[in-house]
C-alpha cells in the first residue's frame, strides 16, 4: 500500500467517522444490482471448465454472496484461471481489497517476486494490477496475475482506492456492493520476457470474455 494512498484513505475515513458515518453497513438500496456475469464455458477458442468450489474455511473467511472459479484452455494448450468474487455489502473484513492476490498469495505459501500494473483494456482505459508469485515444491511454479476491483459501477486496481471507494459509494450512492476479478496464468519464470508473454495471454483471454462482464 502506497504511503500517499494510505494517508488519503485514513484521512477520508476519519472525516466520515467525525461526521457520524460508519463503514459497517447493510445494503437497503434499490440500486444494489450486483455484478452481472454471463460467461459461457466456450469463449471463441477458449474452452472452460468449472473448478472445485470454495472450501468451508474459505467460505467462512470470505462470506461471498457469489463467485466464479474456472479454468479456460486455448487450442494451443495455454490456460488461464479466472476468479470473480462478489459481495452485496462490503464491510469489515469482508471487502475485496482485503482478499486480493497481494494479500492472499503470501498467506498460502507463495513468495511475491514481482508487482506492477498493466493497461489491460485501452478502449475503456482499464488498468489492472499485476502480481507474480513463486511456489517451491518439488518444482518451482510461477503464477502471474492481473486483477482489479469493482465498487458499484466503478473499476480500479489499487487496494487503498478500493477501500476508499466503498466509503464514497455508500455515502453518495447508498451502496457498498462490489468485488474483485482475477485472471492468472502460469509463467515460465519471473523474467521480464516471461511476464510479458503471460500478460499477452491474459489480454487475449480478457478481450474474448470482457463483453460478458457488466457492472
- Give this prediction's pTM: 0.78
Q: Give the pLDDT score at 71.
A: 95
Distance separating alpha carbons of residues 130 and 157, to the nearest angstrom: 9
Look at the block and give the residue holding cell 458515518: 21
Domain coordinates in residue numbering, the chain: 3-214
Look at the block and give the residue holding cell 451502496: 175
Do 172 and 152 form a contact (C-beta atoms < 8 A)?
no
189 — pLDDT class (breaks 50, 70, 90)? very high
Nearest residue to 87 via CA among 149, 164, 171:
149
144 — pLDDT class (breaks 50, 70, 90)? very high
Mean pLDDT in residue range 70-85: 94
Q: Give the pLDDT score at 101.
A: 92
Q: Can you state the angle between helices 159-173 and 3-18, rounded to 10 degrees?
A: 30
Sequence-distant (≥ 6) Cβ neighbours of residue 214 within 8 angstroms: 35, 36, 37, 38
Do 181 and 202 form a contact (C-beta atoms < 8 A)?
no
pLDDT tens-digit readout, 14-28: 333 333 333 333 333
Q: Give the pLDDT score at 24.
A: 33
Mean pLDDT in residue range 121-136: 89
29 — pLDDT class (breaks 50, 70, 90)? very low
Sequence-distant (≥ 6) Cβ neighbours of residue 154 within 8 angstroms: 165, 169, 215
Amino acid at each position: 500500500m502506497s504511503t500517499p494512498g494510505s494517508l488519503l484513505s485514513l484521512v477520508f475515513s476519519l472525516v466520515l467517522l467525525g461526521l457520524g458515518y460508519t463503514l459497517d453497513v447493510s445494503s437497503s438500496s434499490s440500486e444494489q444490482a450486483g455484478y452481472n456475469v454471463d460467461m459461457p464455458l466456450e469463449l471463441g477458442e477458449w474452452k472452460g471448465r468449472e473448478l472445485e468450489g470454495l472450501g468451508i474455511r474459505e467460505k467462512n473467511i470470505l462470506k461471498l454472496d457469489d463467485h466464479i472459479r474456472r479454468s479456460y484452455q486455448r487450442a494451443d494448450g495455454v490456460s488461464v484461471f479466472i476468479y470473480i468474487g462478489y459481495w452485496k455489502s462490503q464491510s469489515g473484513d469482508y471487502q475485496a481489497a482485503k482478499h486480493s492476490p497481494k494479500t492472499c498469495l503470501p498467506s498460502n505459501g507463495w513468495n511475491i517476486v514481482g508487482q506492477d500494473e498493466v493497461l489491460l483494456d485501452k478502449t475503456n482505459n482499464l488498468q489492472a494490477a499485476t502480481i507474480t508469485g513463486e511456489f517451491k515444491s518439488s518444482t518451482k511454479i510461477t503464477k502471474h496475475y492481473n486483477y482489479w476491483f469493482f465498487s458499484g459501477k466503478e473499476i480500479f486496481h489499487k487496494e487503498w482506492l478500493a477501500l476508499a471507494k466503498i466509503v464514497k459509494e455508500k455515502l453518495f450512492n447508498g451502496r457498498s456492493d462490489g468485488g474483485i476479478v482475477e485472471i492468472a496464468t502460469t509463467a515460465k519464470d519471473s523474467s521480464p520476457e516471461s511476464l510479458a508473454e503471460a500478460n499477452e495471454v491474459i489480454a487475449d483471454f480478457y478481450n474474448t470474455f470482457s463483453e460478458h462482464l457488466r457492472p
